[in-house]
Amino acid sequence: MRRRRVRRRDRFHDARRFQRYPGCPVLPQTRPMIPAPALLTSADGTFTLTTSSGVTAPPELADPVARFVEDVELDGGLALTGSAGITVELAPVDDVPPAAGLRADGDEGADERYGLEVAATGVRVWGPTPEGVHRGLTSLRQLISAHLQDGAAVLPAARIVDGPRFAWRGLSLDVVRTFHTPDEVRRVIDMLALYKLNVLHLHLTDDQGWRVEVPSRPALTDVAAKGALGDRPGGYYTRDELAELVAYAAERYVTVVPEIDMPGHTSAVFTAYPELAPAELRTIELGNGTSIPLNALEPGRPETWTFVEDVLDAVIPQFPQSAYVHIGGDETWGMSDEDHVTFVEKAAGLVRDRGKKVVGWQEIARATLGSEDVVQFWLDLDIDKMGENPDAPTPPEELLPVLADALRKAKYDAPKALEQGAKLIVSPVTWLYFDRPHADTSTDAEQDKARERLGLEFYGAASIEHGVSWDPVDSLPGIESADQIAGVEAAIWCETITGPEDLELLLLPRLPGAAEKAWSHHTDTNWPEYATRLAQQSPAWRNRSWTWLQSVEVDWI
């Protein structure tokens, strides 16, 4: 009964909605597209794109068309040098409901819906906005790449009408434990764009380092940015580099959201400015040469808030497209509940005073929130089942009570957020933490070696199939409707990642699965059908020199 009730509230999942549109199937027919489109109708015939083909479009669509032409050549080497074959235009799309949730750029009038039609006479792509047209051209990119052979793409005739289920679809990227250069981040942005993900959440600060310039606090980059995890090289993004990254993302309709993690995860801050640190610094040794700090910025000290305001005033202008600032708020182990609440409420107020909206990890729900605030739900681990993974390492005895206390409190975070009218970004560890080990073996022996060291054993290994075997509404306790969800966001943490190949090996082929769950209106993903679509992504990945786990469970092309 619950599933039927949820799906009615989701406005699209009742098969009767599909039956209003003659010829549209309830489930998508197999096409080499991820995410699966909402409505797809096959037809007889084909259309062939060659180097003599081109795109006809009005001037206002010049930018997304130019990006499409460039990407098609990068995906598979097909240079569309002609002037006909593909027609692109602005036109309404009404057959798919608007997206639920919130946009990271705050654009309430945005519309990403699109139509795509392949007929014997040519290809037509349309949408109500340039962004919608861009999404349609992205689907066409995938079709071209999968059907490309001997310099031509023979596209089967079909009509597709599509749009996102959720407005916020993203990836949280840890650039602290391992510093990823601007070029490496651009590669990640390209991956997001290919799968219609529209948010890059940059985790810019943590215990191991600081990655963003604050001119009034030069030691943050002169001192705190020098390191990363262990002996990895540090670094930071200059203002010019960040401006270029933000612009690069915006050209691909991706919004970059900054995270300044506080009041915990601030060891790097204390290294740069010891006067901000607590009088007594405490840590828990993990027995493997690493430790967990139990220290945080103290809300009762005026210098704390001078620092926070300096940081916000410097960081916010560097991310003009983002309507949100992520304030962290997680894992403030060793901090009293009262101090945590005091800090979150004051920090959130400072963000709002600067014209931005607040997003934070789920622990911020323990404070008083506003209805426009967003809570990122991640801790779906059940403390009563933590011992069920016999292969997981046992935490140090000193850490056990800290973890137990954190997990007990976490059970109430999502309900508290929803009670206050806040929406949730769904980022559950179980399905969307990509720093889990890969369970699938690889056809490549070197990848299998890397697989043994990549990912945190604590979480247990996960298969590629596992990543699409859930639903953001139906699979999470306490969530009754898509209307409670701001969006869906995966996360990649870099404790075990030493460089770009490691990063990509954990991101791919998981990232398309996250996009499937965030975009597609089809809640029940059929693994064999999805694996077929996934396999057909590999030619583009190979041409772009992206690294991906070549799972033996997928028949890669």
**Mean pLDDT for each 10-residue chunk of the chain (557 residues)?**
33 33 43 96 97 98 98 98 96 97 97 98 98 98 97 97 98 98 98 98 98 98 96 97 98 98 98 96 78 93 98 98 98 94 98 98 98 96 58 66 86 96 97 97 97 92 97 94 98 97 98 98 96 98 98 97
pLDDT score, position 339: 98
Percent of the chain with pLDDT over 90: 86
Q: Which of 162, 197, 218 is the last residue of a domain?
A: 162
Give the pLDDT score at 391. Answer: 53
Could you tell me which residues come within 8 angstroms of residue 349 by beta carbon, excluding any fewer than 6 positions away? none
Identify the domain boundary among 112, 141, 162: 162
- What was the pLDDT predicted at 30? 63
Residues 78 and 204 in one domain: no
Q: Do residue 481 and residue 498 come from a single domain?
A: yes
- Catalytic one of 259, 331, 504, 516: 331
CATH number, domain of 264, equals 3.20.20.80
Quick check: is 283 in a domain? yes
Q: How many domains does the chain have?
A: 2
Residue 395: the pLDDT is 65
Question: Residue type for 458, please?
Answer: F
Instruction: Tell me if 528 is assigned to some domain.
Output: no
Whole-angstrom distance, CA of residue 543 vs CA of residue 529: 24
**248 close to 189: Cβ distance less than 8 angstroms:** yes
Residues 6+ apart with CB under 8 A from 29: 40, 42
Which tokens belong to 25? Answer: 């199937």
Q: Same domain for 153 and 222? A: no
CB 86 within 8 A of CB 303: no
Q: Give the domain range for residue 150.
A: 2-162
Half-sphere exposure of 165 (CA within 13 A, CB side): 30
Same domain, 125 and 176: no
3-state secondary structure 74-118: HHHCCCCCECCEEEEEECCCCCCCCCECCCCCCCCCCCCCEEEEE
Kindly state the tokens that stand for 499. 């460089």
CB 503 within 8 A of CB 494: yes
Assigned domain for 556 exists: no
Q: Where are the alpha helices (DSSP H) in 104-178?
A: 130-146
* Residue 48, domain member (yes or no): yes
- Quote the pLDDT of residue 18: 33
Q: What is the CATH number of the domain that holds 51?
A: 3.30.379.10
User: Residue 403 has what pLDDT?
Assistant: 81
b/e map 345-377, b = 16+ CB within 10 Å: eebbebbeeeebbbbbbbbbbbbebeeebbbbb
Q: Is 331 tagged catalytic?
A: yes
Q: What are phi and psi of 489, to 5 degrees?
A: -145, 125
Whether residue 314 is found in the same domain as residue 398? yes
Inside any domain, residue 555: no
Same domain, 28 and 176: no
Domain shared by 259 and 286, yes or no: yes
Whether residues 119 and 236 fall in one domain: no
Same-domain check for residues 36 and 74: yes
* pLDDT, tens digit (0-9, with 9 covering 90-100), for 527-549: 999 999 999 999 999 999 999 99
Q: What is the predicted pLDDT for the residue at 306?
A: 98
On whether both 149 and 227 belong to a single domain, the answer is no
Residue 287 maps to a domain:
yes
Residue of 143, 142, 138 lying closest to 158 (CA atoms): 143
Of 162, 181, 203, the residue that ends a domain is 162
Do 144 and 253 share a domain, yes or no? no
Asked if the structure places residue 527 within a domain, the reply is no
Q: Are residues 313 and 381 in the same domain?
A: yes
Predicted structure pTM score: 0.94
pLDDT of residue 354: 98
